[in-house]
Structures are given as structure tokens and as C-alpha cells.
Structure 1
């Protein structure tokens, strides 16, 4: 068994953590099957019988809205011969029928019918689709766990509810809509490289150099100026949750949307003022959405939602969809959609760069013998009263926070 106390030090981690098959299998059991994992958003299953297909680790599951409106997560595996019960990515159903032998399951996973029933004499109650024991929503974001002893979702989220709250408050009604469809990209890299990179503020000038040279963006003042002039921060929220906080660098409203000010969307300004009051509304317009990772697999990528899906020690899949807002103008949501396409779509400016860097890193670590340094900024980061830790935008405060929690989970 890997010795995580030895492989993860205060200021460095061992390269085998990205390449070892034993480590990967251990992660599935301890992190993805033993703890809380993001599954989907309530807007994706708005009606009774609505469902979406997802994976928790390598386990196929269904996120379902039950007959009474309850949220359930079911294993997408027939209790008879193990076939995938539902192959549709999303839809609405009265029940689920296994395509192999026609076994029919209710929305709650219970076995309703077996063709040619005289040949099956066992207790049907023990042959339903397994329902996960823990399923809970925080402001529309649905999390679940295979482990009944995983503790409460509130304890898992901890201080990171701050980031989730700010995402929700981008909507004047608090209504988010993850309804534009998902784009998936396969990376020939370990899944942990994605959350590490997404809250790494040190790489932007170099990995995204061509983007920085030709496009004026919100990242110019947030990350691409002299070290002593940058006001943006890294945040370790605890429990493996991390953030790049660009808000201190924003000087105008809607800068996060790539606009000089909020004048293009006066209706949105008025809606926020009516919902939150003048002072809070204009702070939302200036500070914008979070850029935060919720351990282990959710990324609030400003006006994008991203899921990290492990697929082996040397492979992972990234899902993303734009974070559309409820009860706002189509013009505003169109702007969000186009910005999402430009940053993370198949021909995007940023995602291809990050994909190449992750795959180059995976190749360089193939022998499993290297150590990766995480010491940058350790001496200048500061702890806050709530237990979170703040660092310079170029510091590895976020990576240290991720690995500190990872070591705790993997060493239990």
C-alpha cells in the first residue's frame, strides 16, 4: 500500500502519485466512493422523472428526480446480469428498463417487473438498483456519496460555501441553469492535474502567452502584471477546496464578462439591485463569479461549470457547460455562452493550452521517480480567522491546500 505520509511532504509531492495504478485504485475507493462527490445540478432534472447520466469515479450512476420531487442517485447497473440499464445521457422516464432481459425498475430503483416471472423466485426487494445512501443539494448543486459514514455535506463543503454562494448570486433570482449541454474533452493526464492547474495563477503568462499577447481580457490586471502590483489572491478554503480570487484586481463592473462596464445590460443591473439592494448588487457586478475548485471534482470556472472525471492513472475526462442565469435576458446568456466557447470550447483559446501542458507533465513523470516542488509563497501566505489561507496569485497556496487534504483522506 502506498505510504502517503512519505509521498506527500509539506513542500513537495512525489511523481508516482500521478502515475501509479495502485494510487489510482486507492483514490477511487477513498475519495470518489468514500466521500462526497459532485453529481449534477437541479436545473438538469427539473421535473418528476427527469434524469441525467453521470459517473462517480468509474461507477455509472443516474441522477433522478423522483415521483415526489426527491433527488436520488442510483447505480446504473442492472441487479440481474450487470448491464447498463440506461444509455441515454438525459431524459424523462416513468421507469427504467434493462435492454438485456427487460427487467423494469422504478424511479426509486425498486424492481417492478421481471419477464417470465415464474423462473425467478428470489426476493425482488433485494434486486433493485442500488440507491446511494447520501444525496444532498446545496443551493441547487447536488452531491452524493456511496459511503453512509461520509459525514454531512455541510462539513465537507466548509468554507467553500462562500464560493458556491457567489456563483448563485450572479443570478438575480438565485436560479442557475445548466441546460446548454455538456462538452467533454479527454486528457492523456492524471485527473489531479486539472484541479491543480485550474487554481494555479502562476502559469498564465507562459502557458497562455499567445492569448495574452493578442486578446485584451480580465486576466491582464488579475495575473499578467508585475509581481508587486498584482492584487489577486490564491485561497485555500480547507478540505481541499481552493480558489483564485480575481476580485481584488477588478476595477470596473462586468470586467469579468470582458466588458468595460455594465452599461450593455441595464436590465441585469436593475434586477440585481431589486434582488440584493444597491450596494450588494454593484459589488456582485464588480467582483464577478468565483474561480474555485470544490474537492474533488467540481470547478466553478467563473461563468462555467466543470466536472473532473478520472478514467485511469494516465487519463481523465473534463466536462464543461456555461453557467447560464435564470430570469435574465437572452442577450446576457448569449454573451456568457460565447465567452464559454472562447475559453473552453473545442477551438478555445485556453483549454487547448492547458490540455497540452497537462499531457506534457504526464509524459515527463512517466518513470514515477520525480519530486514536484510546492514551496512557492509558503513564507508569505497568511491564515484568516475562518481557517482559510491567503496567498499571492502566483503562489502555490492552492496546491498545498489540495495536497494537504488529499493526504488526510488517503491516510485514514
Structure 2
């Protein structure tokens, strides 16, 4: 299949994606141009590894969860053999969605339009009015007449990723050091596994998907965007003497000055991935003692200490997944259009951890990430203002100079000079350019 690697602007002139990214700045069209968005869906979301879901969402044979990989609706399902498959959510007969619901249980899958049915691995099971196909080229055993399996699927410690492209870097090559954060979340479970808690928080942002990802490594904004909210959280904690404030404790930290945020560590990795180390003090209190004892029993004392010492706050696995280990959360983006992005926030249970850890994670999600939150509402407004400003034809460039002369190479990765550096944003757009210009 040949995919176009350039677009045309409103005047009909060629729009070369490579020309939109420079060493320390990015052209506004990388964010707002609809033709660029169309290329992204083909060249990034149509080729990269995309997060689908977690195996705990489909514990029994016949369970399924539906989502999108790029533009393609998909079904993540567990078959009777126990294996997890990611299938195109499209009947091969007339193209209808087979599973319109977000999740459920079905054995077999049956298309409501003409009654074709399929097994959990996608194989065609039965076709009504079978005699009507006699003497035709239709072959019920041909895999093309079943629900098509995505060409590449990877289960990494319960997290399911898939790619629409049959060829390309294997999962571990693509993920590289981006797996450090994902592995750390699982390692923090005393029983060695994590589990999704309930459903996710879902919000449609009125901005380009890359504006959200920019913000995930931007410590500088917290002192301004979240200032009033953070001060209110501090006063609430002081006035009510809340012992386990959940998301309020993180919210209160956001009142710091830029100098405080500068103490974070930012490390950018090949492929656009990054790590942010911050906001994760070691567990304390009676439940924390129980937790640490469970961790040492499972991992050994030395290994448990090393796991808990890794205080990742945000970890990006470009282009769709942001882990927040300290909050037991994961943020997943599903681009809708150049100016709309679906955000899903999932909360995880650390199996074997005290019940209070579950309550704290859910409380943190409700306070900081639900549609009626006190933290992300500030962010959503700032994202909208950025996108609205970039739609102005008089605007040309987004500036990413901060800290560029203080970047420190760390093997194949780059460490920012301090936590206010824009190193992760620069790195992400360099990876974006590579995707958009790959042949």
C-alpha cells in the first residue's frame, strides 16, 4: 500500500511535514492543519504500536472490550483457548460494527445486520441461508471471511498493544526505555500484577492531541495554570486535617514556584518516549509498613527498595499512553480530529496492596481527573486557548527553546538540564518528524 507523505495547504501548495519541525521550534500547522492530521492517522497511528487495553478487562472467555486503533474500530476479546485477540470490529459481509457496545460478553459474536457469527479468535462460525452461496467463490474457511485479526499484537505484563501495520519495529524495539515506567507500575504490586478498577474517566478535549502530550512533561505550567486550585487544596488539607487526602496532596504540590518544578528529572528517549520523576514520596504510615513488608516478601528487600525508589510521575509511550505510577493511573489518548481528542483515564489496583491504596487511587482520580475535577479543568482550558491561538494564520511557530543548551546525553537518551526544560517536547517532535517522513 502506498501512503502519501505530504499534504497540501489551503492554497494547494505542498506541505512537507519535515519543514514543520526545527531543532527548537515547531510550526503551528503541525497542530492545527487537518491535512497533517490525516497523514498522522496513516503514518503514526496506522504504523506505530497503539495501546488497546488491559487483560483484566476481559477475565473470562467471551468477554470483550471495544476501542480504536487509529481509525480502525477493534475488539479486544478472550477466546475459549484463553488467548487474547484484537480483531477488526467490522463484519466482512457488509461492514457493520459487530460490537457497538464498549464492553460485554458474547459467545459467539453475531452481526445484527445479517446474522453472521464469529468465534473469539475471529473465525467465521456460521452464515444464514448457506445454500445461497453454493457454486460461488465464497469459502467459509477463508480467514478473510472472518473478523480480521490485527497483524501484530503484544501482551506486555497484561497490557495489550497492537499495530495495524504488518511490518515495522517489534514491540520491545519500539518501546525501548519507555517500558521502564510501565514495568515499574506492575512491579509496585506486591502480588506482581495490576488490575483495572471499573471503567475510565472519558473527556473530549477541544484541542490537538499533541498539545496534551506537550503538557505531560511541562512542569513550568503548574505554577501558573494550577496556582489558585493548588492553594485551595493546601487550605482544605490544613483546615480539615485530612489524613489521606488522595488527589488533594498532589494538587497541593502544584502551588510550587518554577524553582520547585526545576528539581524534577526529565529524560527523553528514542521514539518520542520520556520519563518525568517527581511527586512520589516513599510510602509512610501503618498501611505503608504493611505494603513494604508485602513488597519485600515478594521481591526481596533489596529489589523492593529499588522499585519504590523509582518515583516516576509521568511516563509517555508515544503516541498514545501516559503512565502515572504515583497515582496508579494511566492516560490514553484517541485522536478524533485535528482539534478534538478523546482522553481516557484508567485507575489501577496493585494486587496484594492494602485496601487503602485502592481507595486513595480512586479518590485521586475523582479529585484530579474526573470530568468534574479540580485539576484537569485548568489544563483543558489552557489546551483550548493554545489551540485557538494556533489556528490564527498570523501565528507561525511554537517555541521550544527552554533548556535546549543544557541537554545532557545519556546513552541514546537525553536528560534535561532541569525539570523546566522542554527537552521532552523537542524529542517528541523529532520522533513525530521521523514517523511523518518515513518511506
Relative to the length of structure 2, the TM-score reads: 0.87
Query: Does structure 1 residue 100 correspond to structure 2 residue 126?
Result: no
Which of residues 398, 401, 404 is equivalent to 1:372?
A: 398
1:330-345 counterparts in 2 under 5 A? 330-345=355-370
CA drift at 1:221: 6.4
What is residue 180 of structure 1 aligned with on the other side? 198
What is residue 335 of structure 2 aligned with on the other side? 310
Which of residues 156, 174, 189 is equivalent to 2:207?
A: 189
What is residue 104 of structure 2 aligned with on the other side? 91
Output the CA distance in 1 between the equivalents of 2:47 and 2:197: 29
Query: Does structure 1 residue 268 correspond to structure 2 residue 300?
Result: no
RMSD: 2.0
CA drift at 1:7: 0.6
What is residue 282 of structure 2 aligned with on the other side? 253
Q: How many corresponding residue pairs?
A: 403
Query: Does structure 1 residue 70 correspond to structure 2 residue 79?
Result: no
Cα shift readout 1:8-32 (whole Å, capped 9, x = no counterpart)? 1110001111111111111111111
Output the CA distance in 1 between the equivalents of 2:167 and 2:360: 43
- Contact between 2:53 and 2:76, CA under 8 Å: does it hold in 1? yes
Output the CA distance in 2 between the equivalents of 1:229 and 1:312: 32
- Contact between 1:384 and 1:390, CA under 8 Å: does it hold in 2? no
Query: Does structure 1 residue 235 correspond to structure 2 residue 258?
Result: no
Output the CA distance in 1 between the equivalents of 2:261 and 2:63: 49
Output the CA distance in 2 between the equivalents of 1:156 and 1:286: 26
Cα shift readout 1:284-336 (whole Å, capped 9, x = no counterpart)? 44544541111110110232111100001111100112122112232221111
Relative to the length of structure 1, the TM-score reads: 0.92
Change (3 A) 1:297 1:223: farther
CA drift at 1:360: 1.1
Cα shift readout 1:221-268 (whole Å, capped 9, x = no counterpart)? 688245288421111022111122116xx6x523xxxxxx24343321
Change (3 A) 1:133 1:101: same
What is residue 155 of structure 1 aligned with on the other side? 173
Q: Which runs of 5+ in 2 are unaligned?
A: 1-5, 7-14, 235-248
Change (3 A) 1:305 1:229: closer
Output the CA distance in 1 between the equivalents of 2:190 and 2:18: 46
1:347-362 counterparts in 2 under 5 A? 347-362=372-387
Which of residues 3, 10, 27 is equivalent to 1:14?
A: 27
1:38-53 counterparts in 2 under 5 A? 38-53=51-66
Output the CA distance in 2 between the equivalents of 1:390 and 1:364: 27
Change (3 A) 1:222 1:288: farther
Output the CA distance in 2 between the equivalents of 1:70 and 1:328: 27
Which of residues 37, 61, 64 is equivalent to 1:24?
A: 37
Cα shift readout 1:165-197 (whole Å, capped 9, x = no counterpart)? 111112112211113211210111111112111
Output the CA distance in 2 between the equivalents of 1:54 and 1:391: 38
Cα shift readout 1:336-373 (whole Å, capped 9, x = no counterpart)? 11111111012212111111111111111113542100
What is residue 122 of structure 2 aligned with on the other side? 109
Deviates more, 1:220-229 or 1:385-394: 220-229
Output the CA distance in 2 between the equivalents of 1:391 and 1:70: 45
Change (3 A) 1:312 1:221: closer
Output the CA distance in 2 between the equivalents of 1:326 and 1:229: 32
Output the CA distance in 2 between the equivalents of 1:402 and 1:359: 20
- Contact between 2:194 and 2:349, CA under 8 Å: does it hold in 1? yes
